[in-house]
């Protein structure tokens, strides 16, 4: 294991100086809601106004023909776009977009018995036999190249990254059909951040993807070999002793006396991918998507791309209305300084504050871990973002032992921006995250889980599971172009 001890020492020094990183709360003013100015509900009947002058400026900048405005109503110098007309404009912008994957690490926490059992011990006990079989297959593999779902016949589905590559290719194909652009206009369509633990295994798997049954034909039809993404390796930093053991913290060692290292959070992408962001901009890209590898709902949304281009804002982010089962993750807040930001529940925003607002019936927007950035702005402000993105400390209790982990959270970048758009999206279309293997098993509706779900049908937990199951099916059909045949999801002819 290659560990960056020098970087670890710098972060450890910052942690020991601050000593409150795990409980550093934000100065919350309000919980914002859709206002048609900074926060929009993304839905099929949405209307989006923009001045005629601004729209025409965008068409000229991206060499888009005026025919794209067919069907867009203009009143008193203002164009009113619909979902469909925004989608069409977004397809014209696909050549200027690169899709970024935050790969995460190995499937260790994903398959960790403690993590998977503690959120519902009774369910886990019933599913443990199947869990153990699957965990044995996935352990030691980068999470991104493990199956994103399990077929109804029990066979593994396509990998997380394999699906994402297919979705990007499908959008390129739709864009080519509309614009007539050649394959050369769609190069650098995808990029990624890997780690020292995952990089070589990912690269080897991507070579196999060239002959994937869901990628091969699309690669040939579009002329875009998406299996060779721009890539940068995130360093591993040592884990620290748990805060309960007292300060100053030191480097953690496992039961065998070995140092244990992990990536320092996806927020490190801004420094790890710095050169790639600059390379993409130099190659003519103007926008980059950024999202987690394990979110099946993280796909290109042309409507968001169109809105970002039309407004000239710095970025857009996806949030959904929080449900009772959304207990780990970030929520949208507006701080007293007027900035919108994302605060992690329990770390940046207290559990008590969240519960108080939920009990009062106040809608809360929950982070879906998807961002779309104006690349020109991002490159110009990388140094400022890298310097100011907070470090968060969390205590862990895993099979390997108790330790603390320092991370930078990507989505706290929201608080460093001053001109952005939030999209309130349908959660179970845009956010189907497999943080745990049990999440994947439940979403796939495995037989070993059905008895428990049937017995607890009238609970928030099971209602959420049913929504996730429907969302998975919708994504496999609508976003990935698959159909269910004889118990397996396969590519449409």
Q: Is the pTM value of this prediction over 0.85?
A: yes
Residue 1: its pLDDT value, please? 59
Phi first, then psi, for residue 258 (nearest 5°) are -100, 145
Q: In this structure, are strands 47-51 and 97-102 parallel, antiparallel, or unpaired?
A: unpaired
Q: Quick one: pLDDT band at residue 451, thresholds 50, 70, 90?
A: very high
Token couple for 490:
């396969």
Percent helix / strand / coil, the chain, rounded to 5: 45, 25, 30
> At 133, is the secondary structure helix, strand, or coil?
helix
Q: What single-letter DSSP state applies at residue 62?
A: T
Name residues whose C-beta falls within 8 Å of residue 44's C-beta, 6 or more positions apart in sequence. 83
pLDDT at 18: 76
Mean pLDDT of 25-49: 88
Half-sphere exposure of 28 (CA within 13 A, CB side): 18
Closest CA to 420 of 429, 411, 428: 411
CA dihedral 118, 21, 433, 217 (to 10 degrees): -140
Least confident of 56-60, 100-104, 323-327, 483-487: 323-327
Domain that holds residue 475: 5-491
Q: According to the model, what pLDDT value does residue 169 have?
A: 98
Q: Using one digit for the tens of pLDDT, what is the confidence trace for 376-435? A: 999 999 999 998 888 888 888 888 889 998 888 889 899 899 999 999 999 999 999 888
Q: Answer with the residue of higher pLDDT: 26 or 259.
A: 259
Q: Can you list the pairs that 276-280 forms with residues at least 24 positions away whose Cβ atoms lie under 8 Å?
A: 276/191, 276/230, 276/231, 276/232, 277/375, 277/378, 277/379, 277/382, 278/379, 279/188, 279/230, 280/98, 280/188, 280/191, 280/230, 280/375
Q: What is the largest CA-CA distance in the chain?
A: 73
Predicted confidence (pLDDT) per residue in 105-134, tens digit: 787 788 989 889 988 999 999 999 999 999
Tokens read off for 459 = 């609970």
CA distance 307 to 310: 5
The alpha carbon torsion through 179, 182, 185, 188 (nearest 10 deg) reads 120
What would the two tokens of residue 119 be? 């959120």
pLDDT in tens, 68-110: 999 999 999 999 999 999 999 999 999 999 999 998 678 778 8
Q: Is the peptide bond before 11 cis (omega within 30 degrees of 0)?
A: no
Cα end-to-end distance, the chain, whole Å? 44
User: Predicted confidence band at 336 (pLDDT cuts at 50, 70, 90)?
Assistant: confident
- Please, where are the H alpha helices in 273-381? 274-282, 302-311, 351-359, 375-380
What digits encode the pLDDT tens for the residues 461-470?
Answer: 999 999 999 9
For the segment 353-375, what is each residue's pLDDT rounded down to a tens digit? 888 888 898 889 999 999 999 99
Burial 163-201 (b: 16+ CB within 10 A, else e): bbbbbbbbbbbbbbeebeeeeebbbbbbbbbbbbbbbeb
Region 183-205 average pLDDT: 94
21 pLDDT more than 80 = no
Judge whether residue 493 has pLDDT over 70.
no
d(CA 435, CA 118): 14
CB atoms within 10 A of CB 467: 18
pLDDT of residue 25: 66
pLDDT reported for residue 196: 83
HSE (CB half, 13 Å, CA atoms) of 75? Answer: 5
Task: Give the pLDDT band of residue 265 (cuts 50, 70, 90).
Answer: confident
Q: Please give the mean pLDDT across all residues of the chain.
A: 92
Decide: 218 and 23 in contact? Cβ < 8 Å: no
- Residue 48's nearest CA partner among 286, 288, 308, 289 is 308
pLDDT of 192 over the 60 cut = yes
| Closest to 422 measured CA to CA, from 44, 39, 36 | 39
* Number of domains, the chain: 1
CATH number at residue 11: 3.90.550.10
Can you read off the two tokens belonging to residue 168?
Answer: 């990007």
């Amino acid at each position: 294991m290659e560990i960056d001890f020098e970087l670890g020492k710098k972060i450890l020094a910052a942690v020991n100086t601050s000593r409150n990183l795990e409980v550093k709360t934000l100065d919350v003013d309000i919980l914002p809601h859709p206002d048609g100015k900074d926060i929009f509900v993304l839905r099929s009947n949405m209307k989006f106004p923009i001045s005629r002058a601004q729209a025409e400026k965008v068409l000229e900048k991206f060499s888009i023909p005026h025919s794209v405005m067919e069907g867009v109503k203009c009143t008193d110098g203002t164009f009113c776009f619909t979902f469909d007309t925004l989608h069409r404009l977004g397809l014209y912008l696909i050549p200027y977009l690169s899709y970024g994957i935050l790969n995460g690490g190995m499937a260790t926490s994903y398959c960790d018995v403690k993590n998977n059992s503690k959120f519902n011990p009774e369910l886990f006990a019933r599913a443990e036999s199947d869990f153990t079989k699957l965990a044995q297959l996935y352990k030691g593999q980068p999470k991104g190249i493990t199956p994103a779902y399990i077929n109804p016949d029990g066979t593994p589905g396509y990998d997380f990254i394999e699906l994402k590559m297919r979705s990007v290719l499908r959008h390129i194909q739709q864009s080519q059909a509309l614009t007539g652009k050649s394959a050369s206009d769609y190069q650098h369509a995808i990029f990624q951040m890997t780690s020292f633990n995952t990089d070589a295994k990912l690269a080897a798997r991507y070579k196999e993807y060239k002959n994937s049954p869901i990628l091969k034909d699309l690669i040939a039809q579009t002329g875009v070999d998406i299996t060779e993404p721009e890539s940068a390796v995130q360093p591993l930093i040592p884990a620290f002793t748990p805060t309960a053991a007292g300060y100053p913290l030191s480097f953690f060692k496992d039961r065998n006396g070995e140092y244990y290292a992990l990536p320092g959070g996806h927020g490190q992408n801004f420094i790890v991918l710095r050169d790639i962001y600059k390379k993409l901009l130099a190659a003519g890209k103007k926008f980059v998507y950024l999202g987690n590898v394990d979110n099946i709902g993280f796909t290109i949304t042309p409507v968001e791309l169109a809105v970002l281009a039309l407004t000239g804002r710095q970025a857009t982010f996806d949030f959904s209305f929080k449900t009772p089962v959304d207990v780990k993750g970030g929520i949208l807040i507006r701080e007293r300084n007027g900035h919108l930001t994302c605060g992690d529940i329990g770390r940046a925003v207290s559990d008590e504050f969240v519960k108080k607002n939920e009990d009062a019936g106040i809608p809360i927007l929950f982070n879906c871990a998807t961002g779309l950035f104006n690349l020109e702005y991002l490159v110009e402000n990388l140094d400022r973002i890298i310097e100011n993105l907070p470090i968060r400390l969390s205590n862990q209790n895993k099979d390997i032992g108790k330790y603390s982990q320092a991370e930078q959270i990507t989505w706290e970048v929201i608080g460093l921006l001053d001109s952005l758009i939030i999209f309130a999206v349908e959660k179970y279309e845009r956010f189907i995250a497999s943080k745990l293997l049990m999440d994947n098993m439940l979403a796939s509706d495995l037989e070993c889980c059905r008895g428990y779900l049937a017995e607890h049908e009238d609970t928030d937990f099971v209602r959420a599971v049913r929504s996730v199951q429907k969302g998975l099916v919708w994504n496999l059909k609508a976003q990935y172009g698959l159909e269910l045949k004889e118990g397996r999801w396969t590519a449409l002819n």
